[in-house]
Structure 1
Amino acid sequence: MKRVVVCGTKFGQIYLSAMRDGPFELTGILARGSDRSAAYAREHGVPLVTDPDRVPRLADLACVVVRSGVVGGEGSELAAALLSRGVHVLQEHPVHADELARTLRTARAASAVHHVNTLYVHLDPVRRFIDAARRLRELQQPLYVDAACSVHVAYALFDILGQAMGGLRPWTFTATAPGTPFSCVTGTVGGVPLTLRVQNQIAPNDPDAHLHLLHRITVGTEGGNLTLVNTHGPVVWTPRMYVGRDADDRFDTGAEHLSLPSATTIGPAQAPTFADIVTRLWPDGVRRALTGLREAAEDGRDPLRQGQYHLTLSRLWQDATAAIGRPELLVQTAPRPLSATEFA
Structure 2
Amino acid sequence: MAAAAERPLRVVVCGTGFGRFYLRALRSRDPEFQLVGIVARGSAFSADCAREHGVPLYTDVEQLPADVDIACVVVRAGVAGGSGAELAQALLARGIHVLQEHSLHPDELAACVRAARRHGVYYHLNTFYPHVEPVRRFLGAARAMSAHQPPLFVDAVCASQVLHSTADIIGAAVGGLRPWTWEPPAPSRGVPFRSVAGVLAGVPVQLRVQHQVDPGNPDNHAHLLHRVSIGCEGGVLTLADTHGPVLWSPRIHAEKGPEGRLVVDGAGTERLDAPSTRILGPTAYPTFREVFTRLWPQAVIDALRGLADVIGGRADSLAKTQRDLTTTQLWHEILTGLGPPDIIRPSEPRPLALPELLAGAERNERLPS
Do the two structures share a fold, i.e. TM-score over 0.5? yes
1:1-344 aligned at under 5 Å gives the runs 1=3, 2-23=9-30, 24-57=33-66, 59-174=68-183, 175-179=185-189, 180-254=191-265, 255-299=269-313, 304-344=318-358
Q: How much does 1:342 deviate?
A: 4.1
Shift of 1:292: 1.1
- Native 8 Å contact 1:56 1:86 kept in 2: no
Which one-letter code corresponds to 1:296 in the other structure? V
Letter in 2 for 1:265: I
Specify the code of the residue in structure 2 equivalent to 1:297.
Answer: I
Q: Quick check: 1:206–1:332 contact (8 Å CA) kept in 2? A: no
The offset of 1:336, in angstroms, is 2.2
Q: Percent identity?
A: 49
Amino acid at match of 1:275: R
After TM superposition, give the deviation of residue 343 of structure 1 in Å: 2.8
Q: Deviation at 1:44?
A: 0.6
| AA aligned opposite 1:234 | P
1:285-338 Cα deviation digits (max 9, x unpaired): 001111111221122977544212111111111111122221111123322232
SS of equivalent residue, structure 1 residue 343: helix
Alignment deviations for residues 4-30 of structure 1 (CA, whole Å, 9 cap, x no partner): 100000000100100111222111100
Q: Which moved more, 1:121-130 or 1:239-248?
A: 239-248
Equivalent in the alignment of 2:364: none
Q: Which amino acid aligns with 1:158?
A: A
Distance in 1 separating the partners of 2:14 and 2:39: 5
Whole-Å separation in 1 of the counterparts to 2:348 and 2:301: 30
1:76-109 C-alpha deviation (Å, 9 max, x unpaired): 0000000010000000001111111111111011
Q: TM-score, normalised on structure 2?
A: 0.90
> Is contact 1:113-1:302 (8 Å) kept?
no
Secondary structure in 1 matching 2:150: coil
Tell me if the contact between 1:226 and 1:236 (Cα under 8 Å) persists in the aligned partners.
Answer: yes
Provide the rounded CA distance (Å) in 1 between the counterparts of 2:54 and 2:249.
50
Compared CA separation, residues 336 and 59, structure 1 to 2 (3 A): farther
Kindly provide the CA deviation profile for residues 218-270 of structure 1, in whole angstroms up to 9, marking residues without a partner as x: 00112110000001110001111112221233321131211111111111123
Which moves more between the two structures, 103-112 or 301-310? Answer: 301-310
Shift in alpha-carbon separation, 1:301–1:342, aligned structure 2, 3 A: closer
CA distance in 2, matches of 1:149, 1:117: 18
Offset at residue 58 of structure 1 (A) = 5.6
Mapped contact 1:123–1:282 kept (Cα < 8 A): yes
Gaps of 5+ in 2: 4-8, 359-369
What's the CA shift for 1:209?
Answer: 0.8
Structure 2 counterpart SS, 1:131: helix
Instruction: State the distance in 2 between where 1:302 and 1:291 align.
Output: 13
Partners of 2:324 and 2:199 lie apart in 1 by 18
Distance in 1 separating the partners of 2:346 and 2:131: 30
- For residues 55 and 291 of structure 1, the distance between their equivalents in structure 2, rounded to whole angstroms, comes to 22
**Would the aligned equivalents of 1:6 and 1:63 in 2 still touch at CA under 8 Å?**
yes
Is the Cα–Cα contact under 8 Å of residues 108 and 302 in structure 1 kept in the other structure? no
Structure 1 residue runs without a partner (length 5+): none
- Report Cα offsets for 1:129-184 as digits up to 9, x if no partner: 00111111111121110000000000000111111111111112221353411001
Q: How many residues align?
A: 344
Question: How many angstroms apart in 1 are the aligned matches of 2:120 and 2:212?
Answer: 40
Q: 1: CA distance between counterparts of 2:261 and 2:67?
A: 75
CA distance in 2, matches of 1:238, 1:309: 29
